[in-house]
């Protein structure tokens, strides 16, 4: 694996996404500031959560579909004219997209935790639920990346992004009904129950499985352009 060329390609994607990424981070942080300033107003909270979810899911879909876009915009032949193998290209796309998305994801995750900890309107017991849900968003985004990279199809990528978005609601409702989660959500202290740790491990395991499958499928491909 030529790490130099992989790094160059990741930096290229970083540069291409920089404006969108900064705009998303600024909007997300302003939204969190708005939630913090709303003094627990439930309408502001709901609107804020909708904006944050839209930013994360939307940006995830945009960043992760860059491989499909590269094919659609016919820039793939340019990239593949460089001294890069297809596996190196796949690595740069998956790692690069994840790194770029992770910056936004991490900023918003830390911002949410900080908002919960700093403001008196939210109980700190919400934090495990917020972390589980944000890792769920990360998982959904990785699924989009894996599908985008392996199918190179805009239709499939959009379809999976939509399913991922809908599944987020279903997962959220299901998790909140779990006794271990619901009982600790209103607690003043952060409580990591066994259920929340198992859920997080399952999410990270699924992420690893999806990315591993994407690499495996790519390594067996014979035609690239």
Partner 1 sequence: MTGVAVQFSGVSKKYPHFTLQDVDLELPTGSIMGFVGANGAGKSTTIRILMGLIHQDCGTVHVLNHTMPANQAAAKRDIGFVSEDMRLYASLTLAWHMNFVSSIYPQWDRLYAEHLLRSFDLKAERKIKGLSHGQRVKAALLLALARRPRLLVLDEPTTGLDPVGRREVLAELVAVLADEERTIFFSSQNTLDVEQISDQITFIDRGRIIDSANKETFLDRWRRLRLMLPLNTALPQLPGVIEVGGSTRLPVLTVNRFEPAMVAVCQDAGAAVQAVDAMTLEEIFIANVQSRREGVVA
Q: List residues binding partner 1 (CB under 8 A).
A: 2, 5, 8, 12, 15-16, 73-75, 77-78, 80-85, 88, 222-225
Residue number with CB closer to partner 1 (88 or 136): 88
Minimal distance, residue 8 CB to partner 1, in Å: 6
Residue 131 to residues 125, 137, 140, 200, Cα–Cα distance (Å)? 11, 10, 14, 8
DSSP string, 62-123: HHHTHHHHHHHTT-HHHHHTSS--HHHHHHHHHHHHHHHHHHHHHHHHHHHHHHHHHSTTS-
Residue number with CB closer to partner 1 (89 or 129): 89
Instruction: Detail the DSSP E strand segments found in 130-179.
Output: none
Q: How many CA atoms lie within 13 A of 184 on its CB side?
A: 20
Residue number with CB closer to partner 1 (11 or 202): 11
Residue number with CB closer to partner 1 (83 or 179): 83
Minimal distance, residue 157 CB to partner 1, in Å: 20
Minimal distance, residue 99 CB to partner 1, in Å: 18
Minimal distance, residue 81 CB to partner 1, in Å: 4
């Amino acid at each position: 694996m030529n790490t130099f060329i992989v790094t160059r390609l990741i930096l290229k994607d970083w540069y291409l996404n920089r404006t969108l990424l900064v705009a998303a981070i600024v909007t997300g942080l302003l939204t969190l500031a708005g939630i913090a300033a709303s003094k627990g107003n439930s309408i502001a909270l709901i609107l804020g959560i909708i904006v944050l979810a839209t930013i994360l899911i939307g940006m995830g879909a945009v960043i992760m579909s860059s491989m499909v876009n590269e094919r659609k915009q016919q820039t793939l032949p340019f990239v593949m004219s460089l001294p890069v193998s297809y596996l190196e290209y796949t690595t740069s796309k998956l790692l690069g997209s994840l790194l770029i998305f992770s910056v936004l994801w991490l900023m918003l995750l830390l911002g949410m935790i900080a908002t919960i900890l700093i403001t008196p309107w939210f109980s700190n017991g919400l934090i495990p639920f917020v972390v589980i849900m944000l890792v769920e968003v990360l998982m959904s985004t990785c699924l989009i990346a894996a599908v985008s990279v392996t199918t190179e199809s805009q239709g499939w990528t959009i379809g999976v992004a939509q399913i991922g978005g809908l599944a987020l609601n279903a997962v959220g409702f299901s998790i909140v009904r779990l006794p271990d989660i619901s009982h600790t959500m209103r607690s003043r202290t952060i409580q990591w129950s066994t259920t929340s740790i198992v859920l997080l491990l399952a999410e990270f395991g699924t992420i690893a499985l999806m990315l591993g499958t994407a690499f495996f499928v790519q390594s067996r491909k014979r035609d690239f352009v």
